[in-house]
Amino acid sequence: MALVRDRRQLNLRLPLPEISERRPRFALSLPPTSLSSAVACNAITASDLENIQVLGHGNGGTVYKVRHKRTSTIYALKVVHSDSDSTVRRQIFREMEILRRTDSPFVVQSHGIFEKPDGDIAILMEYMDAGTLDTLLKTKGTFSESALAGIARQVLSGLNYLHSHKIIHRDIKPSNLLVNHNMEVKIADFGVSKIMCRMLDSCNSYVGTCAYMSPERFDPDTYGANYNVYAGDIWSLGLTLLELYMGHFPFLPAGQRPDWATLMCAICFGERPSLPDVASEDFRSFIECCLQKESSKRVEYGLGVAIVDRFEDEGVKLAKVFPDLNTSILDDMEVEAEVVEPEATRIEASNREVSMDDAVEG
């Protein structure tokens, strides 16, 4: 006959805390309900800003020069309109994500991101009062080697920062490098950039301006061996410096109207652009290291800075190339080279910046 034991009744009840202890000891923040809440921390809203002038248009948006009403601080406000197509809006969200992650003196700084009442998305950024390197090339002419050395060092530092955070820009070119009156150069426009999630991610899609694409992005089957996903930015930097030195897009004769097929053949199968005889050996060496068709052979940050140091004369620093920094650089900048007439020496931006209309994220 089996014995049945009484089950022990466990008291699992816990006493309630005192009423004074039920309140949280710290403030709980509500989750953001829209983009407008992201700027609340910065205490800047759309109503705090007044428009001064339009700085530029393009790709479904407008960039304004704006003033903060209370502090009189000048900013640049990049606005993507609510009726823009899905590709443009996807690019602005990608740029927002990257700008939130970055904090470098060589990358343009974001001061706030918010949604305006009409549905437009806006990014408030630091204002670079000298425009872009493309602007300076068009208005002031070509750059000396010593000026290019300062530019190269800053862009290399910016790329080194981005690449160390697994960010590939994918559209380095003169019009995406902003400049202020101190000739500080900062990388901007991350609409087609990519954040690398895995080491073996590819980055060979047709996004960005094809004139500055590296060979492996045009033809990954031929140039994809030993693929370095970050090296495409170095190729674009080399082309950018060469354009600023020569006064026109390097792979084509001055004034030639490019098309996609011409660009692909010139970049993938053409010879490296030749530099004028007056170019120094160290400058030639740096450009050759950037424009290696095999990505794994391109220059990396440390060696790149070492070469830059050699082709920048010790006694000629950027401040001496541009001596009067207290006035507008666009009025008083002195370039140590013959100023070339724009009509005869450069490809018009609308022709040179041949972009893929159906760009998709790689």
Which residue ranges are tagged as binding site for ATP?
78
First-to-last C-alpha distance (Å) of the chain: 76
Structural Rg of the chain based on CA atoms: 26
Q: Are 98 and 13 in contact, with CB atoms under 8 Å apart?
A: no
Residue in 200, 189, 274 with CA at minimum distance from that of residue 233 = 189
Q: Which residues of 185-204 are buried (b: 16+ CB within 10 A; e: fewer)?
A: bbbbbbbbbbebeeeeeebb
Distance, in Å, from the CA atom of 236 to the CA atom of 142, rounded to the nearest integer, reads 18
Which residues fall within 8 angstroms of residue 182, CB to CB, at 6 or more apart?
Answer: 325
Q: Are 53 and 65 in contact, with CB atoms under 8 Å apart?
A: yes
DSSP assignment of 16-61, as one string?
PPPGGGSS-SSPPPPPP-SGGGGGGGGT--GGGEEEEEEEEEETTE
Residue with tokens 């989750």: 31
The one-letter amino acid at 285: S
Residue numbers belonging to the annotated binding site: 78
- List the alpha helices (DSSP H) in 54-201: 86-101, 133-140, 145-164
Region for residue 189 given its phi and psi (left: phi exceeds 0; alpha: psi -120 to 50; beta: otherwise): left
Residue 22 CB: number of other CB atoms within 10 A? 8
The residues carrying an active-site annotation are 171
